[in-house]
Amino acid sequence: MRTPSPPPRVLLLLAALSICVGSTALVAGDAAKNGSSSGGDAVVGTYLVVVCRADGPKEGGEALRAWHASLLATVLNTTTDAILHESPQQSGPLVYSYEHVVSGFAARLTARQLGELRRLQWCVDAIPCVNYRLMTTYTPTLLGVNSPVTGAWAHSMGEGVIVGVLDNGIDPRHASFSDAGMPPPPPGKWRGGCDFGGAPCNNKLIGGRSVTPGEHGTHTSSTAVGASVSHARLLRTDVGTASGMAPRAHLAFYEVCFDEECPSTKQLVAMERGAFVDGVDVISISAGDDTQKPFYQDLTAVGSFSAVASGGVFVSTSAGNGGPDEATVTNCAPWVLTVAASTMGRRVVSRIKLGNGVVLHGQTMGRYKAVKHRPLVYVPGHQFSDSLDVRDKIVLCDRSESPRTRGEMVRAAGGAGMISFNNVYRGRATAPRDNMTIPAARVSQADGETIMAYVNSTRNPTASLQFTGVEMDPTPRPAVAEYSRGPCNMSSLGVLKPDVTGPETSIIAAVPGTLPRGNASAHTRSFGMFSGTSMAAPHLSGIAAVLKRARPEWSPAAIKSAIMTTADVTHPDGSPIADDTTGMPASYFLMGAGLVNPTKALDPGLVYDLAAVDYVAYVCGLGYEDNFVNEIIAQPMQNVSCATVSKVAGKDLNYPSFMVTLTAAATEVEVRRTVTNVGEAASVYTAEVVAPKGVAVEVVPNRLQFGALNQRMEFRVRFRRDGGATNGTVEGSLRWVSDKHSVRSPIVVLDGSLNLV
């Protein structure tokens, strides 16, 4: 068999037009200031224009689009027909018309038009399109074994469930998307089309659209629902069986990115289509912009609200790669699952031998030719410049935000290799986050100190670098990776994020390949190894599909609750799951409720459920204007007035975790929850609390006796500062324990000193 190599990327010219044009190149305000010159008339970008739906037609489809065009026409000083006849692909101004997830349309606007529009009564808001980025760092390949066998598969492998993956493209002919043994989706369930540039759909890849064989999208799709492929090969090495988390679920793929840029308005279209037109059950999103915004400006939050609350769709998102600083987690809406990332005990080792004989193990992305006995020189960050004098030397440098750029500079200067070491925040984490073009190794902070001390100790320090391949930890002990950290930097939120942790580092899954010549019915079989929170989200999408199949009556919130309350915070031997950067036990800001345990999630005993009305009460409780509330909750309710609905504070949202703030001024907080019995009809649960340091926790009542399935019971938890002051963030837990179940929720108590917006 020929060694598969990735096909060239096909980037359609048309595609470029749909990216959020120019919004960074030209700031709207600047252009407007330049008055009537070309500045004000240049297209500055694509905006989601939110309009008051109440004024529009009752019906959707063409009538709605025509209405949107007529509104836009008044701003553009043109006719509705003229707008309707201009194709959005040919840079027509009306880019998308939304019907379900938000009342509004995406339009290309100049600064002047934007200014005019904002003055109009029917315009509720104009939100600039942003380019979400895929949240991965690539790790092209080597060997290693992935055996994702879990007990959950005995109950469900996601049969009949449709998972919609929103990403940058897919290789539809990959063996991971073969439908051998797959039944068709349940009759009438899939209502979408199939457009994969001529490749046929099948009972695995049932539909959607992609014209680009994207590496990232192929990888995330196969991670979520890929069929089992035995003897998967990576660089001519058999790495065993590759399989998605829900190998019997169906896949709908939506290409929403161009290369690595994913316009938020385009992602919103795919969410609408998947949830309200095509019929997907789970949506998987691995892109974001690592920023935190009010939910009405966050198009992932806007789109997922209606999908979850009205469509019953489960939405899995990644927590972002903004870490390791605190308060960097993104995708904060309580109606989505926010997934943090763990390592897997698989390392791609770059071996360093110092001139004094000391051997250290760093990590790198891929194979390189060994370099032996080269002079080793330390170059501090500020000394990096185009006149770097490092010919034939190995450069030791502080780990910057762009080791790739530094690597390029070292290579351009004729350097032989590069060793980068962590600052104290990144500590022990060595998973490479960049694709280097020279022999390279990323080492821990401690190893960096060792190397520095050696460099300082001798006049002519030397080192050798050697790629030694993948090393498997014989006892894989996942640790929480260096990516995002909670909480969300929004003090009004009241909800702990991230929710849960899934595996992400060094994930082996499908990547595009080339077909054997002359056999159109054959499959491609290439595999690659990537890391990033991008990889964690699709694991949870697949697990959600497994749960949806096994427990079809559960709401998205019930599935999330089951995943969270059964997650592991310790390894099987009882030792705590660690923070990969420090080696210390991971906090809830890192891992959410813990590391997902799909088998236990099938049978949680109790769930914390939420329905549309609860989310509406929560959004109103955030204090947003009615206009913005209605923008978010396009469905199932229209034109809500927060003055007339009951509101709920974030702390009282029926969420499976607890986060409260206690200060000298507010020494006591009470929160409410309701649990629903999904275990044995007759069962008794008692509350077991691990109180955070300096906080007294009282649960009332502390015993819940259920007599029926789906019976709901309410309880309250009182948090009180215990005598002295609490100091910083403290953690504890509440478990409802029966003879069969343990329903665990993390507790986080803040002292008000975290500087949140």
Ligand X SMILES: *[C@@H]1O[C@H](CO)[C@@H](O)[C@H](O)[C@H]1NC(C)=O
Q: Report the SS3 class of residue 232.
A: coil
Angle made by CA atoms 295, 297, 300, in degrees to the nearest 5: 65
Nearer to ligand X (CB atom), residue 274 or residue 407: 407
- Give CA–CA dist 478/456, Å, rounded: 35
Q: Is 641 an interacting residue with respect to ligand X (CB under 6 A)? A: yes
- 8 A C-beta contact, residue 340 and residue 592: yes
Does position 54 interact with ligand X (CB under 6 A)? The reply is yes
Q: Which stretch binds ligand X (CB under 6 A): 269-277, 504-512, 646-654, 722-730?
A: 722-730
- How far apart (Å, rounded) are the C-alpha atoms in residues 41 and 115? 12
Question: Quick one: which of 5, 9, 30, 356 contacts ligand X (CB under 6 A)?
Answer: 30
Residue 120 binds to ligand X (criterion: CB under 6 A): no
| Mask for 408-437, x = binds ligand X (CB under 6 A) | ---------------------------x-x
Residue 679 CB neighbour total at 10 angstroms:
18
By CB under 6 A, tell whether 696 contacts ligand X: no
Site string for ligand X, 434-473 (x = CB under 6 A): -x-x-----------x--xx--x-----------------
Q: What are phi and psi of 462, to 5 degrees?
A: -135, 165
Minimal distance, residue 721 CB to ligand X, in Å: 12
Q: Tell whether residue 26 is a contact of ligand X (CB under 6 A).
A: yes
Site string for ligand X, 204-223 (x = CB under 6 A): --------------------
Nearest CB to ligand X, comparing residues 140 and 375: 140
3-state SS, residue 629 = helix
Q: Which is nearer to ligand X, 664 or 757 (CB)?
A: 757
235 touching ligand X, by CB under 6 A: no
Q: How far is the CB of 725 from ligand X (least distance, A)?
A: 6
Q: Is 521 in the site for ligand X (CB under 6 A)?
A: yes
Which amino acid, residue 697?
V
32 binds ligand X (CB under 6 A): no
What residues does 132 pair with on adjacent strands? Answer: 262
Nearer to ligand X, 453 or 684 (CB): 453
Give the residue nearest to ligand X (CB): 54
Stretch of 28-36, 238-246, 537-545, 708-716 contacting ligand X, by CB under 6 A: 28-36
The CB-side HSE value for 674 (13 A sphere, CA atoms) comes to 13
Binding mask 539-578 for ligand X (x = CB under 6 A): ----------------------------------------
Inter-CA distances, 350 with 137, 326, 611, 662, Å: 17, 30, 50, 47
State in angstroms the smallest separation of the CB of 391 from ligand X: 21
Calpha distance 163→542 (Å, rounded): 8
Given the residues 100, 103, 167, 652, select the one marked as catalytic. Answer: 167
Q: Among residues 147 and 456, whose Cβ is nearest to ligand X?
A: 456
* Residue choice 7, 22, 39, 240 for contact with ligand X (CB under 6 A): 39
Quick one: three-class SS letters along 239-279? CCCECCCCCCCEEEEEECCECCEEEHHHHHHHHHHHHHHHC
Closest by CA to 314, choosing from 158, 500, 545, is 545
Strands (E), 434-505: 440-443, 462-472, 479-480, 500-503
Counting residues that bind ligand X (by CB under 6 A) gives 31
Is 216 assigned a catalytic role? yes
- Report CA 708 to chain centroid distance, whole Å: 37
The distance of Cα 73 from the centroid of its chain, to the nearest Å, equals 37
534 is an active site residue: yes
Eight-class DSSP state of 459: S
105, two tokens: 């349309």
Shortest distance (Å) from residue 274 CB to ligand X? 27
Q: How far apart are CA 530 and CA 146, in angstroms?
A: 13
Point out which span in 151-159, 189-197, 339-347, 721-729 binds ligand X (CB under 6 A): 721-729
Helix ranges (H only) for 242-399 are 264-272, 299-309
Q: How far apart are CA 432 and CA 590, in angstroms?
A: 19
**95 within 8 A of 105, measured Cβ to Cβ:** yes
CA distances from 525 to 45, 228, 366, 416, 516 (A): 40, 12, 20, 35, 10
Per-residue tokens: 475: 């006892």
**Closer residue to ligand X (CB): 120 or 453:** 453
672 vs 720, which CB is nearer to ligand X? Answer: 720
DSSP 600: H
Tell me: does residue 110 bind ligand X (CB under 6 A). no
Q: How far is the CB of 13 from ligand X (least distance, A)?
A: 22
d(CA 282, CA 549): 11
Does residue 370 belong to the site contacting ligand X (CB under 6 A)?
no
Residue 34 in contact with ligand X, rule: CB under 6 A: yes
Minimum gap (Å) between residue 57 Cβ and ligand X: 12
To ligand X, the closest distance from the beta carbon of 616 in angstroms equals 14
754 near ligand X, rule: CB under 6 A:
yes
Are the C-beta atoms of 317 and 288 separated by less than 8 Å?
yes
Q: Give the one residue of 60, 92, 115, 140 binding ligand X; rule: CB under 6 A.
A: 140
- Contact call for residue 636 and ligand X (CB under 6 A): no
Residue 489 interacts with ligand X (CB under 6 A): yes or no: yes
Q: Residue 107 in contact with residue 47, Cβ under 8 Å?
A: yes
**Footprint on this chain of ligand X (rule: CB under 6 A):** 26, 30-31, 34, 39, 54, 77, 138, 140, 326-327, 435, 437, 449, 452-453, 456, 489, 519, 521-523, 639, 641, 725, 727-728, 754-757
Q: Which residues are catalytic?
A: 167, 216, 534
